[in-house]
Amino acid sequence: MQLLALGGTFAVIGLVIDSVIGIMAGHVGRRLTEWPKAGPWLNRFAGMVLLGLAVRTALV
């Protein structure tokens, strides 16, 4: 019974946290689409992330 309660608590907490993250991501995404200078900066950021992952993969 305790294991069932623990699993239910874990599921509810996960649902709440994931919902908050989803709502916040929606607000941030809406703000970024309204800001015209965001596109080039997001492309640069994505390029740097991919470059970093490529370097890390090459070194491992």
Residue 46: give the domain boundaries. 2-59
Position 18 confidence tier, pLDDT thresholds 50, 70, 90: very high
Position 36 confidence tier, pLDDT thresholds 50, 70, 90: confident
Count of structural domains, the chain: 1
pTM (whole model) above 0.85: no
pLDDT value at 46 more than 90:
yes
Beta-carbon count within 10 A of 20 CB? 10
